[in-house]
Amino acid sequence: MKEAPHRMIARIPCLALVLLLLFPASSKGQLQPARLFTDGAVLQRNAEVPVWGWAAAESEVAVSFDGDTRRTTAGPSGRWQVTFSPRPAGGPHELTIRSAGDTVRVQNVLMGDVWVASGQSNMEWVVADSKNAEQEIARADDRSIRHFKIPKSWAERPEQQLAGGQWRPATSKHVGNFTAVGYFFARSLRNHVDVPIGLVNSTWGGSRIEPWMSADALGFDSTDVQQVLQKEERRVEQMRDRLRAMIDVQGDSLPTDDRGMENGDPRWAATDLDDSGWPTLAVPQTWEEEGYEGLDGVAWYRRVVELSAEQADEALTLHLGPVDDNDVTWVNGTEVGRTSGWTTPRTYEVPASALQAGTNVLAVRVEDTGGGGGIHGDAAKIRLSGSDVDRSLAGEWKFRVGTVSLDADSRKNQIPTLLYNKMIHPLLPQPITGVLWYQGESNASPEDAFEYRTLFQNMITQWRDDWQRAAERPVPFLWVQLANYMDPPEAPSESAWAMLRESQHATLSLPKTGQAVAIDLGEADDIHPRNKQDVGRRLALDARAQAYGQEMVHSGPVYTDHRVQDGRVVLSFDHVHGGLTTRDGETPQGFAIAGSDSTFVWADAKIQEDQVVVWSDEIDDPVAVRYAWADNPERANLYNKDGLPAAPFRTDDW
């Protein structure tokens, strides 16, 4: 999950290649607006409206916005841009763009508020995989919320055109593929701000923060950039060489046709197949975790299960957990199920007719289309069960690769600047209302968590500078603090996740920022908690305060200072509002206290008006207090009476 920052890039290309990287191809007579300008677009209200794109070099371009026409000439690279005066919220409008006999019409354009939603998988996570997904999709019917998904893409240098994307309205047909946090944010916001909302979804699961930053923000010069790209080239070559060595192929080529299939027949699912020479792989986990870095394509899993005659005489249920991405599963050569989708648990009924007394062969053909691959999830849920059978299937399986589609892009989301160059930089001419950010899990290591506060503040400052030049207005920046995850601690201890949350919280020192605390919304055994509704709602509270200037409660209690009195520590808070309380009506939990030896123990606590008093009979002379300082601060229960949780904190700087 973690990789140290790099200082980078590759050899200096010739001028022709530089131009190719910087400017999209545009043949003579071919008119191409920037990809944000497609049917259903949402453009920023009450700000100048830039419209840009590419045409034949030096050609004339005319752009009409509801009959108001601007003319310009494309530059030597073919790029052109015009600007219209600000327009209020509303629509629909129409853009018509003409050049050299070509015409592009962009219809059903709304003026509203544009929010960029960025970060890693918890922002990328879609409505279809969220809590109550079926009901949420069925009830979605707001065509004034629109979503534009930028494909995962990267570039060695800043580019001006996106890799793709299309605007979609928040209807049942499309909303399942929306960023869930973004959609629930927009839905909540629309109850209080009656304007169209455009969500530009620029996310890549597993990404570190450094790839979302420019070379300038990272302090890189041209030599650093070259070194980073050269290092990445070497990594891809080494990855290809390792895969060749691991998957028993002849020569330099990697297999592109599934070796486990023969004229449509799944020969690697056969019961009489000799798999004694196959390597083994631990289940559950992705095959990348077992050393198969960069492997996309098809791989086969096999396992033998012994059954008695009585056990084989009834139907059983095979539980595989989620499989990344698609699978077909056989028992003794009989297909028992197939499923698509990397988050969907597999549960297959195995008829008694497919079973036999003695040896039974399970075979799973897994197809991975990108990112991690294989059988993953909770080991306890990978089982074969029936009235007289409850057999764990976690552990070693036989494993063999059928095809390889080398995933050379698998770690581009770890390489500084590459995502900024292709997924953020092309957006900069477009004015926006603000940014939603959910990222940090991939930087939550002991080595990186403290440094994150510097990187995060530098990134926000850089993005604001970039967009402020384009939009002539400051950009509110709102983020989700990392949710609770992993096992709760039995005793107070150090925590990289708590440190990263502190780094996020420290960034509130920048103006026009907001933070949605989520330490009560996570899941111990899943880094992707399904409750994105409350995350979106809390971000919307911050937006109403920071972007729209509304006077309302938008934060839970925030520690401000403390004093030590008679062996107890008295803590004071901001954002108390109607008063302090606890989530469950019990005494405050999740506090730890230490003396001068820096050894923390769980503390007793009580609410005293708008303060919290903390103590322990084990500590006579307390020096420091921590609250919710854990990967999963499950005990933490301090809230204000408006129902918002207190932010984690510590009084020490140890």
8 Å CB contact between 589 and 605: yes
User: Where do the DSSP E strands lie in 315-433?
Assistant: 316-324, 326-331, 334-340, 345-350, 358-368, 374-375, 383-386, 389-392, 395-406
pLDDT band at 470 (very low <50, low <70, confident <90, very high): low
Residue 106 phi, psi dihedral angles, 5° rounding = -115, 115
- pLDDT one-digit tens code per residue, 213-250: 999 999 999 999 999 999 988 988 888 888 888 887 76
On the question of a cis peptide bond just before residue 622, with omega within 30 degrees of 0, the verdict is no
pLDDT band at residue 251 using 50, 70 and 90 as cut-offs: low
Judged by DSSP in three states, 278 sits in coil
Give the Cα separation of 583 and 630 in Å (integer): 18
Structure-block tokens of residue 624: 């420091």
Average pLDDT estimate for 28-38: 87
pLDDT at 27: 42
Q: Distance between CA atoms of 531 and 494, rounded to whole angstroms?
A: 27
Element (H, E) at 3: none
Token pair 């597999």: residue: 346
Which residues lie closer than 8 Å to 58 by C-beta, 6 or more apart? Answer: 73, 74, 75, 76
Please check the confidence at residue 402 and state whether its pLDDT lies above 50: yes
Please choose, from the candidates 255, 267, 332, 353, the residue with its C-alpha nearest in 3D space to the C-alpha of residue 297: 255
Cis peptide upstream of residue 284 (ω within 30 degrees of 0): yes
CA–CA dist 26, 3 (Å, integer) = 38
Cβ atoms within 10 Å, residue 224? 18
> Binning pLDDT at 50, 70 and 90, where does residue 471 land?
low
If pLDDT is split at 50, 70 and 90, which confidence band does 21 have?
very low
Computed over every residue of the chain, the mean pLDDT equals 93
Closest CA to 218 of 207, 205, 228, 230: 228
Residue 128 is predicted with a pLDDT of: 96
Whether 337 and 348 have beta carbons less than 8 Å apart is answered as: yes
Determine which helix (DSSP H) or strand (DSSP E) holds 371, and give its type and residue range: none
CA triplet 405, 409, 415: central angle to 5 degrees?
A: 160
Q: What is the H or E stretch that residue 182 is in? A: helix 180-190
For 599, residues 6+ apart whose C-beta sits below 8 A from its C-beta are none
User: Which pLDDT score is estimated for 7?
Assistant: 30
Q: What is the pLDDT of residues 451-463, one digit of tens each?
A: 999 999 999 999 9
From residue 640, how far is each of 31, 294, 415, 557, 650 by CA, in Å? 56, 47, 41, 6, 19
**Look-up of token digits 């925030």:** 558
Bond prior to 325 in cis (omega within 30° of 0): yes
167-192, pLDDT tens digit by residue?
999 999 999 999 999 999 999 999 99
Helix (H) or strand (E) holding 171: strand 167-171
Buried b (16+ CB within 10 A) or exposed e, 125-134: bbbbbbeebe
- The tokens of 226 are what? 């070259």
Nearest to 270 by CA among 368, 398, 374: 398
Task: Evaluate if residue 391 carries a pLDDT over 80.
Answer: yes
Sorted by sequence, the CB contacts under 8 Å of residue 605 that are 6+ apart come out as 587, 588, 589, 591, 612, 613, 614, 615
DSSP state for residue 87 in the 8-state scheme? -
Question: Can you list the domains of the chain with their CATH numbers?
Answer: 255-406 (2.60.120.260), 558-650 (no CATH)
Alpha carbon separation from 261 to 157, 252, 481 (Å, rounded): 42, 22, 47
For the stretch 135-171, pLDDT in tens is 999 999 999 999 999 999 999 999 999 999 999 999 9
Torsion sign across C-alpha atoms 459, 465, 470, 475? positive
**What average pLDDT score do residues 630-647 get?**
98
| Placement of tokens 């589609």 in the chain | 405
Q: Distance between CA atoms of 117 and 119, rounded to whole angstroms?
A: 7
The Cα-based distances of 425 to 213, 221, 403, 430 in angstroms read: 10, 18, 36, 10
Residue 392, C-beta contacts closer than 8 angstroms, at least 6 positions apart: 379, 380, 382, 383
Identity of the amino acid at 93: H
Length of the chain: 654
d(CA 392, CA 284) in angstroms, rounded, equals 11
Question: Alpha-carbon dihedral of residues 533, 536, 587, 592, nearest 10 degrees?
Answer: 120
In the 8-state DSSP scheme, what is residue 119?
E
The two three-digit tokens of residue 329, written as one number: 């599963």
CA distance 105 to 503: 46
Alpha-carbon dihedral angle through residues 161, 162, 168, 169, given to the nearest 10 degrees = -70
Q: How confident is the model at residue 408 (pLDDT cuts 50, 70, 90)?
A: confident
Longest alpha-carbon distance in the chain: 84
Nearest to 370 by CA among 525, 151, 212: 151
Residue 10: the pLDDT is: 34
pLDDT over 80 (residue 5): no
With a cut of 60, say whether residue 28 has pLDDT above it: no
Query: Taking 90 as the threshold, does the pLDDT of residue 332 lie above it?
Result: yes
Task: Give the pLDDT confidence score for residue 650 in this predicted structure.
Answer: 98
Let me know: does 255 contact 403? Beta carbons within 8 Å. yes
Which residue type, as a one-letter code, is found at position 96? T
Residue pair 418/163 in contact by the 8 Å Cβ criterion: no
Paired with 396 in beta bridges are 282
Report in angstroms the alpha-carbon separations of 649 from 129, 227, 511, 541, 593: 32, 39, 20, 21, 12
333: left (phi over 0), alpha (psi -120 to 50) or beta: left
Burial class of 21 by CB neighbour count within 10 A (0 to 12, 13 to 18, 19+): middle
Residue 8 scores a pLDDT above 70: no
In angstroms, the Cα distances linking 260 to 270, 367, 441 are: 10, 12, 37
Q: Quick: pLDDT tens for 547-585.
A: 999 999 999 999 999 999 999 999 999 999 999 999 999
Query: At how many degrees (to 10) do helices 496-506 and 452-471 cross?
Result: 30
